[in-house]
Amino acid sequence: MSLVTCSSNQFPLSSNVRSSAGPSSNNLRSFFDVSHLGGEQRRHKSRNSRRMSSITAYYGLKSPPYELDALEPYMSQRTLEVHWGAHQRGYVEALNKHLEKNDILYGYTMDELIKVTYNNGNPWPEFNSAAQVWNHDFFWESMQPGGGEMPTLGLLQQIEKDFGSFINFREKFIEAALTSFGSCWVWLVLKREKKCLAIVKTSNAINPLVWNDIPITGLDLWEHAYYLDYKNDRAKYVNTFMDHLVSWDAAAARMARAQAFVNLGEPKIPVA
Amino acid sequence: MAAAAAFATPLKCTFSTSHNVSGSTRGLHWRKNERSVKRAYRGVITAKIDHKPPPYALEALEPHMSLETFEYHWGKHHRAYVDNLNKQIVGTELDTKSLDEIILATYNKGDLLPPFNNAAQVWNHEFFWESMKPGGGGQPSGELAELIKRDFGSFEAFVSEFKAAAATQFGSGWAWLVYKANRLDVGNAVNPLPSEEDKKLVVVKSPNAINPLVYDYSPLLTIDVWEHAYYLDYQNRRPEYISTFMEKLVSWDAVSLRLEAAKARAAEREREEERERDEYEGNSQTEPQPVEMYLSDTEDSEAD
């Protein structure tokens, strides 16, 4: 069962779909028209292909749920422009290029695509692109203008249950972020089997979906995420994220959804 | 990718495990001698790895690599690796070793000990600064050029392979031109038919802090493709950074010098092995035969 997250980007096969999912992908306005299902997929290039790039869009570049300058001064507009507009766009285009070549992957949801291409630790080339697209969508939604502070209600209770206190969790999260080496991500996840929250570090493009865990919030520790604003000062970046950027509302929403899949113990009225 | 999976160790729900080293240190007693640490004057680092500056002024590589990049890359990143390494090794048995020795000891056959990342990054960065020079670029000459032609087909083919390796190293890492003496020295295998042809130039790429010393190769040239190396100047345009590096920054003189050194080292090693083998064979006439690795009815000859 794939977890439906708020960042699934799949375009339905059987309809004419505009690839722009909103105000975002202005550059990928290619229409595509899939006339057949079941084995035979014909992808017609856009009628306007002379003007646009000739990439057939399976996935689009989803824009963050706020303006690019909304996270100033903690994350500058320039960072968002390069990080979202260049890096993530590059991952999306790479993913689309891969999918063009490989029919067998057509039709998967993003979550399924990640799990399949992870191939239990021996990933296919598509994995890096797919996972990075998902990771970045998740990351934008994990932040909000006026973020930070503390979680509330059920999420706070669960954190206190699994980490002792919110302060302790925050310390552990920051420690995990500062002790990770190279390009990586740090996540707060809900572990399905253990039925508790945990902090997980992953390297490069890996994310907790491949172990079937449910991510609640995440932090991008690739240098491109903070270099323009903080240069080498990773500690300041991580502290700023925890103090001013992390969106506990989004985390609470994911936690609420996760409770539909993981039985956390005594029957609880869902957290909202 | 097994390394990547192993890296992603989940912390337990209520406690986080800090780097627990005691289980994986066969042969290397990696534990700080508490007494000697306390004796060290507080605030003064006594270990000796230096923070070597590049062999040119920090602004000498403008506009291809800016002064600001150097100030951060050399002045903060490289310096931090040096300081952290010194803090980690002071009072341990690694304290008196050279950088190369520390790298090989802490690589621990892939099960990295904590000082490895810092030690390897110090070595890598020193190597990287020396791989560049103001007014660099152009083409190699002499024996290096011939070897490149022999092993890659042409200089252009080498350049495109090197650029591809650097561009496709996902995440943080390095791309290298190495001299490979193919000695198959893995402790229980010997190259049965060694020849001069086996020694060749190869392009390799490595993730994070790993460098070809741990594979027993001789590095000749490297490019740093960690994002901190190019982000201030090129942001995400890594291919542009790599092209600029190849066209304007590479110091082929340094590479040629390293090649000579590598060949000399390889020749020296071979001579030593010859000597050892001769000695051994001289002695073994009265001693029992060495253990055959591949036990079979037919006689296996170890070497010529």
Residue-level pLDDT at B3: 41
Higher confidence at residue B273 or residue A248? A248
pLDDT confidence tier of residue A10, bands split at 50, 70 and 90: very low
Q: Which of A122, A120, A140, A143 is nearest to A132 (CA)?
A: A140
β A214-220/B218-224 pair status: unpaired
Express each pLDDT in A186-205 by its tens digit: 999 999 999 999 999 999 99
Residue-level pLDDT at B270: 83
Task: Please report which helix (H) or strand (E) contains residue B254, including its range.
Answer: helix B252-283
Q: Which of A36, A46, A44 is nearest to A13 (CA)?
A: A36
Residue in this structure with the two tokens 């893995």, named with its chain if needed:
B186
Residue-level pLDDT at B113: 93
Higher confidence at residue A51 or residue A90? A90
Residue-level pLDDT at A57: 58
Higher confidence at residue B10 or residue A114? A114
List chain A residues with CB under 8 Å of B207.
182
CB pairs under 8 A between A and B: 101
Tens-level pLDDT at each residue, chain B (304 residues): 444 444 444 444 444 334 444 444 444 555 544 444 444 445 554 568 899 999 999 999 989 999 999 999 999 999 999 999 999 998 888 888 899 999 999 998 889 999 999 999 999 999 999 999 999 999 999 999 999 999 999 999 999 999 999 999 999 999 999 998 866 556 666 667 777 777 889 999 999 999 999 988 999 999 999 999 999 999 999 999 999 999 999 999 999 999 999 999 988 988 888 888 788 777 655 555 666 676 555 555 554 4
CA A51/CA A87 separation, integer angstroms:
23
- Say whether A223 and B227 touch across the interface (CB within 8 A): yes
Bond preceding residue B63 cis, omega within 30 of 0: yes
- Mean pLDDT over each residue of chain A, to the nearest integer: 82
Least confident range from A95-109, A209-223, B167-181, B282-296: namely B282-296
- State the smallest CA–CA distance between residue B7 and chain A in angstroms: 7
CA A75/CA A80 separation, integer angstroms:
7
Residue-level pLDDT at B44: 54
Q: Is the predicted pLDDT of residue A226 greater than 80, yes or no?
A: yes
Token readout for B296 is 């079979």
- Say whether A231 and B72 touch across the interface (CB within 8 A): yes
Three-class DSSP category at B95: coil
Q: Among A82, A98, A183, A216, which would you mutate to test the B interface (most chain B Cβ atoms within 10 Å of its Cβ)?
A: A183
List chain A residues with CB under 8 Å of B12.
198
- State the smallest CA–CA distance between residue A180 and chain B in angstroms: 9
Share of chain A above pLDDT 90, in %: 63
Share of chain A above pLDDT 70, in %: 78
Say whether residue A222 is in contact with chain B using an 8 A CB cutoff.
yes
List chain A residues with CB under 8 Å of B13.
162-163, 191, 194, 196-198
Sign of CA dihedral A107, A7, A126, B244: positive
Residue-level pLDDT at B160: 96
Residue-level pLDDT at A104: 80
CA A83/CA B229 separation, integer angstroms:
16
- In chain B, positions 110-149, which contact chain A (CB-CB < 8 Å)? 117
Residue-level pLDDT at B47: 63
